Structures are given as C-alpha cells and as structure tokens.
Amino acid sequence: MKPFLYYVAKDLIGRYGNNLSDVTIVFPGRRAQLYMNYFLSYFAQGPVWAPRFKPIDELFQQFSPYTPSDNILTVCRLYRIYAELAPHPETLDNFFSWGEILMNDFGDIDKHLADADKLFANTADLMALERTDYLNDSQIQALREFFAHFDPKEQSEIKQRFLEMWQIMQKMYHRMKADLKKDGMLYKGALYR
C-alpha cells in the first residue's frame, strides 16, 4: 500500500504537469513537505516548479485578526488569572508546568471545537463524584479496584489542590481567551477555532 502523499503527488503532476508554481499545499506540519517533494520528483518528467507549502498554523494566522501569543508569556498570564481565582494558589514556579499542560488542553478544546462549558461541567461532576459519602462499602471496593488510587474518604493536599483547580478551570479558560483577545492575541488552538 502506497502512502497518501504518493497519490496526491501523482494527481498533482497529472493535473498540472511540471509547473506547480501556482499551487499551494497546506500541511499539518513541515515534515510532510519533504515527502511531498520526494514524490513529486518521482512522478515528474524533468525539472519541476515546486508548489508553495504552507503549514496550517500559518494559514490560520494569515486569515485571523489576532497574532499568536508567546507560550511563556501566555502561561504567565494564565498564572495571574489562576492566582486571582484559586483559594490557595501555588507559586508561579510550581504552577508553570501545570500551566503549560492547561494551555495545551485549552488549545485541544478549541482545535476540536469542543463545548468548553459542557466539558468543564462534566469533569467537575466527575471530580465531585469521587468525594461522595453515599457509596456503600462494596461500591467503594469495586471503584478502588477499578481506580487504583481511589479513596473517597482520604483527601490528600495534592488531591484537594487538584480539585480546587478543576473548580475554577472554566473561568480560567474564558478569562484567558478574553484577556488575550483584548491585546489582539490568541493561543494556537483559539486561532484555529
């Protein structure tokens, strides 16, 4: 079985011949461009005017009124929002790696056009389920076997801070986007959306 780009290159050469100078190909990243060039040269009869290649990120940036935000500054902005909302905020040093993960999660939510409000509501509901006292002993045992670290009666400090974070996640998501938009910027996933 041949790779997808093999068939794309074959089709392009069949349609346009060796002059692809007016063709723009959009890829999810830059790596595919190398393979496309290889397959184009495989099918071409002689020299080829290569097409323009554009990563999808650049395409979205081209049509968006917003500029992409810097990752480090974005996490610092997120920390400021987190520190305002969290009852017991961590230091920036402790938060930074969490902030990078959160920004990736926010980006995934936007790239996949997920309903953030429903997602965060469902997640908060799942987290609240772990804190319930209405489970009987056999149900708790079944959950303990399923979730190796599940113990609804034991609230460690780390687990408590994690739950506090989830309770403010929805507000952080919306405030972060509004804060960046106000300055004419967005993170990559929001640019996609």
Q: What is the 3-state secondary structure (H, E, C) of 130-176?
A: CCCCCCCHHHHHHHHHHCCCCCCCCCCHHHHHHHHHHHHHHHHHHHH
Residue 121 confidence (pLDDT):
75
Distance CA(79)–CA(83), nearest Å, equals 6
pTM over 0.75: no
Q: Using an 8 Å Cβ cutoff, are 85 and 58 in contact?
A: no
The residue among 63, 95, 89, 58 whose CA lies nearest residue 76 is 95
Q: Which residues contact 168 (CB under 8 A, 6 or more apart)?
A: 82, 85, 86
CB-facing half-sphere around the CA of 156: CA atoms within 13 A: 6
Residue 120 confidence (pLDDT):
77
Distance CA(116)–CA(102), nearest Å, equals 13
Regions of the chain short of the pLDDT cut 50: 148-152
Q: 67: how many CB neighbours lie within 10 A of its CB?
A: 13
